[in-house]
Amino acid sequence: MSVLDQVVEIGASALLPHLDRWRPTTRGKNPWSLEGLRNVLRLEAYFARVVNILGGRVTSCYRSREINALVGGVPDSYHVKGAALDVIGWNAKFPTVDAAAQAVFEQARAGTLGPVREVIPEQRTKAVHVDWWVDGRTSAPRLVRDERY
Ligand SMILES: [Zn+2]
């Protein structure tokens, strides 16, 4: 962990504790990176909207590189960038993970969720995964089936 990353972690923990809801982990510490913190600050209102659409709870959002490796995420995962969200517990509002993902996708297409890149109904975990463009690139959101992130 670089000195800059240590400063980011200490500063964000002290000044922005509400952001902790966007770094849940069951695997010990999940320290912020500068990139992750920057993107979560930019996207947190959209994260909250997705949670509101689905109901349920966030199982994964920002992941440090170490946590991402521990949970078996792909190395270039948008979770490491602080630009992805996984939500489970949509069951009270939707019959299937596909229906839950479709509802988020429709809102993304309508433009209410910011620069969404992909919406993925994860069949294995039953989570709806949503990720967002970073670094200014955008194109229309995609609904992606049968992929793991
Ligand atoms: Zn995910």
Domain boundaries, the chain: 3-143
pLDDT at 144: 95
Q: Is 70 helix (H, G, I), strand (E, B) or coil?
A: helix
Report the alpha-carbon distance of residue 17 to residue 9 in Å, rounded.
Answer: 11
Distance 74 CA to ligand 1 centre (A): 10
Exposed, middle or buried by CB within 10 Å (0-12, 13-18, 19+), for 47? buried
Count of alpha carbons within 13 angstroms of residue 17, beta-carbon side: 1
Query: What global pTM score does this model have?
Result: 0.93
Report the alpha-carbon distance of residue 61 to residue 123 in Å, rounded.
Answer: 18
In CATH, what is the architecture of 3-143?
2-Layer Sandwich (3.30)
pLDDT at 22: 98
pLDDT tens digits for the chain (149 residues)? 789 989 999 999 999 999 999 999 988 899 999 999 999 999 999 999 999 999 999 999 999 999 999 999 999 999 999 999 999 999 999 999 999 999 999 999 999 999 999 999 999 999 999 999 998 888 999 999 865 54
User: For residues 25 and 50, is the Cβ–Cβ distance under 8 A?
Assistant: no
Distance 132 CA to ligand 1 centre (A): 11
Report the alpha-carbon distance of residue 92 to residue 111 in Å, rounded.
Answer: 25
Distance 128 CA to ligand 1 centre (A): 7
Q: What are phi and psi of 85, to 5 degrees?
A: -140, 135
pLDDT at 70: 93
pLDDT at 131: 98
Q: What is the chain's alpha carbon radius of gyration, rounded to the nearest angstrom?
A: 15
Q: What are phi and psi of 144, to 5 degrees?
A: -115, 125
Q: What are phi and psi of 69, to 5 degrees?
A: -65, -40
Distance 6 CA to ligand 1 centre (A): 25
User: For residues 49 and 108, is the Cβ–Cβ distance under 8 A?
Assistant: no
Ion ligand 1, residue ranges at CB < 5 A: 84, 86, 129, 149
